[in-house]
Amino acid sequence: MRILLLGKNGQLGWELRRALAPLGELEALDYPEIDLAKPEDLCRAVRQSQPQALVNATAYTQVDRAESEPDLAMQINAAAPGELARCASAIGAVFIHYSTDYVFDGRAGRLYHEDDPPNPLSVYGRSKLAGEQAVASAGSAYLILRTSWVYSLRRDSFVKKVLGWSRQNPTMRVVTDQTGSPTWARMLAEATAMLLARGAPHIFDWIYERRGLYHLAGSGAASRLEWAREILKLDPDPAAQVCRELLPAVTSDFPTPAVRPLYSALDCSRFEAAFGLRLPPWQEALRLAMDPD
Ligand SMILES: NC(=O)c1ccc[n+]([C@@H]2O[C@H](COP(=O)([O-])OP(=O)(O)OC[C@H]3O[C@@H](n4cnc5c(N)ncnc54)[C@H](OP(=O)(O)O)[C@@H]3O)[C@@H](O)[C@H]2O)c1
């Protein structure tokens, strides 16, 4: 299979570059080779590459900065994915795109299903929701995989932040009133590669029959405090920690420009039923991600 991956240097893109490689011929691009802020240039790059699968791991992910750069966030997260879906469709390629739990307002208080009505609270969430809508209306054989609280040990992520804070502060305050589904970027990448492998060699028809929106995140739910506690427990270098106390806090203790949903954990049973794949419980994936051996 010939695959074009966009966003190869991001948390997810870095893992996708490795997970997709065994599937065939992989071309991987990132900014500035390709700029999603210029949707008019995108089709040329897709046509040149002639992929059977176009995988988009690019996004404007600076949730707080998006509040003051709404046009740029919309361009990268909404206009560009719509254009990519159109280009993929025009050359008979499948289009894989990722979205976010931040499309929800977090008031459900239970795992979110794909049919739950979105109601984003931030510019980022609105731009990603607009991206979903653009892909669904322009795409043919497309998948939108909504995920949540993505981390990797390479780029700046909550896991890396907690480890960093634990080496500097004797006490740490972490919020208990935000709940999500922590998702290791590697597991998300591997599930993407496995589903593409399952669909080969008739990938277009196979995805077309299953096209649509799916939740795909680490199984289960955790508050930020529970997640931080597990990170410290699994720290491969606990001797480096100076933090002796993890204290509960609430979101309003740390005002940020963007409002985040308080509860955005995802139910992934639709994905499991369609593709026979599921991500492991978030604690298990975290243990694997942090295993030093
Ligand atoms: N991170 C999370 O917690 C989270 C949660 C839910 C859903 N998601 C979704 O999951 C997907 C992957 O997220 P991630 O965490 O891997 O994001 P990430 O680490 O921020 O990576 C995003 C990638 O997009 C690239 N990019 C940004 N602006 C671009 C532009 N104008 N043109 C071309 N490339 C550009 C970035 O390049 P630079 O590094 O050069 O900027 C980076 O390589 C996204 O769709 C995101 O919305 C993420």
Q: What pLDDT digit, counting tens, does each position of 237-277 carry?
A: 999 999 999 999 999 999 999 999 999 999 999 999 999 99
CA distance 227 to 257: 23
Say what the pTM is.
0.97
Residue 113 pairs with which residues in a beta bridge?
none
Residue 212 backbone dihedrals phi, psi, to 5 degrees: 140, -160
pLDDT at 154: 87
pLDDT at 164: 95
Start-to-end C-alpha separation, the chain: 33
**Ligand 1 center–CA 12 separation, angstroms:** 8
Q: What pLDDT digit, counting tens, does each position of 278-287 carry?
A: 999 999 999 9
- Residue 20 buriedness (CB in 10 A; 0-12 / 13-18 / 19+): buried
CA distance 178 to 169: 22
Residue 32 backbone dihedrals phi, psi, to 5 degrees: -95, 5
Ligand 1 site, residue 264, Cβ cutoff 6 A? no
Residue 179 to residues 68, 98, 109, 228, Cα–Cα distance (Å): 25, 20, 9, 12
216 touches 150 (CB < 8 A): no
**Ligand 1 center–CA 93 separation, angstroms:** 22
Ligand 1 site, residue 155, Cβ cutoff 6 A? yes
Ligand 1 site, residue 34, Cβ cutoff 6 A? yes
**Ligand 1 center–CA 289 separation, angstroms:** 20
Ligand 1 site, residue 30, Cβ cutoff 6 A? yes
Report the amino acid identity of residue 130: A
CA distance 183 to 216: 9
Active site residues: 124
Residue 112 pairs with which residues in a beta bridge?
266
Tokens of 29: 């691009």
The residue whose CA is least distant from atom 24 of ligand 1 is 58
Q: What pLDDT digit, counting tens, does each position of 74-88 carry?
A: 999 999 999 999 999
Residue 236 to residues 63, 231, 293, Cα–Cα distance (Å): 29, 9, 9
pLDDT at 237: 93
The residue whose CA is least distant from atom 45 of ligand 1 is 98
Residue 168 to residues 165, 229, 240, 241, Cα–Cα distance (Å): 5, 16, 9, 8
Host H or E run for residue 237: none
CA distance 41 to 32: 12
Give me the average pLDDT of each 10-residue run along the chain (293 residues): 97 97 96 91 93 98 98 97 97 98 95 98 98 95 98 92 95 96 98 96 96 98 97 95 94 95 97 96 97 80
CA distance 231 to 268: 23
